[in-house]
Amino acid sequence: MATYYPRTVEEIFKDYSARREGVVRALTHDVHKFYRQCDPDKDNLCLYGHPNETWEVTLPPAFLPHDIPEPALGINFARQGMQPKDWLSLVAAHSDSWLHSVAFYFGALLNRDEREQLFKLINADPTVFEVVTEKNPLKDKATVESSSKPRGGTKRTSGGQVKNSPDFYDEGYEEDHSESICGICENNDSDDAWISCDSCSNKWFHEKCVKSIPIMSTMLKRYNCPSCSPMRRGRP
């Protein structure tokens, strides 16, 4: 039987809503089951929401690209070194991105007005991130747990001291990395964002060199560089 692809705005939004419902259920009502299935000792895993409002944690297809865009890979590896609520928030943020990419993948043939209509329908609902954190990330600066200050985003000042990184949406924050050397590229581009490894004598790296993203570096209690991280395990 041929694979069904939603084409109209109404069909695409129905598909989006069902997949979103499955993802939200995994991260809220079924959270204990979801947490157990994301064992870091397993291979790279993804969280899928399905058009029948169910969810699944499984390996991605062996051959890519697949029928639809793929969700974030290796969510189980990211679980290590993070508080459960921080990790769930990270998965939620990636899931929002995936859900939107699937919706507008199906909507590639929509015209401008139809795309705008689809966006308005999607935007009327809270994001998965907002549901999971029970707050507005723009107003609350995406801070999931305020009881402890993350260590993974520590930065070095010009005097050699270490200070905690600002919240993701803070503006006007600058620091001096004039004497820092990146452990990957071995260069000193002090204007770039930096992150330190908590496992190998606090080596420093450009975030772009280790492919770190701001929301992740502010949530991690510990950051492990590529040499120290279990995420080095190969993709299936």
CATH number at residue 177: 3.30.40.10
Q: Please tell me whether residues 128 and 21 are part of one structural domain.
A: yes
What does the alpha-carbon distance between residue 232 and residue 40 come to, in Å, rounded to a whole number?
12
The confidence score (pLDDT) of residue 220 equals 55
- Please report where in the chains the tokens 């549901």 appear, as a residue: 131
| The domain boundary residue, chosen from 119, 140, 161 | 140
| The domain boundary residue, chosen from 97, 122, 140 | 140
What does the alpha-carbon distance between residue 118 and residue 103 come to, in Å, rounded to a whole number?
9
Structural contact between residues 143 and 136, judged by C-beta atoms closer than 8 angstroms: no
Q: How many domains does the chain have?
A: 2
Residues 100, 106, 111, 115: what is their CA dihedral angle, to the nearest 10 degrees? -20
Q: Please tell me whether residues 132 and 157 are part of one structural domain.
A: no
Q: Please tell me whether residues 59 and 136 are part of one structural domain.
A: yes
Q: Please tell me whether residues 22 and 118 are part of one structural domain.
A: yes
Q: Please tell me whether residues 165 and 206 are part of one structural domain.
A: yes
The confidence score (pLDDT) of residue 85 equals 87
Q: Is 94 within a domain?
A: yes
Structural contact between residues 236 and 60, judged by C-beta atoms closer than 8 angstroms: yes
Q: Please tell me whether residues 63 and 126 are part of one structural domain.
A: yes
Q: Is 37 within a domain?
A: yes
pTM of the model as a whole: 0.60
**209 lies in which domain range?**
150-226
Residue 126: half-sphere exposure toward Cβ, Cα within 13 Å: 13
Residues 82-91: tens digit of each pLDDT: 888 889 999 9
Weakest-pLDDT range from 44-48, 50-54, 101-105, 173-177: 173-177
Residues 109-126: tens digit of each pLDDT: 999 999 999 999 999 999
Helices 112-123 and 84-106: crossing angle, nearest 10°? 160
157 contacts: CB under 8 Å, gap ≥ 6: 163, 175, 176
Mean pLDDT of 193-220: 67
Q: Please tell me whether residues 33 and 82 are part of one structural domain.
A: yes
Q: Please tell me whether residues 113 and 174 are part of one structural domain.
A: no
The confidence score (pLDDT) of residue 98 equals 97
The encoded tokens of residue 222 equal 């510990």
105 membership: H or E segment, kind and range: helix 84-106
What does the alpha-carbon distance between residue 40 and residue 76 come to, in Å, rounded to a whole number?
5
- In the chain, what's the furthest Cα-to-Cα distance? 66
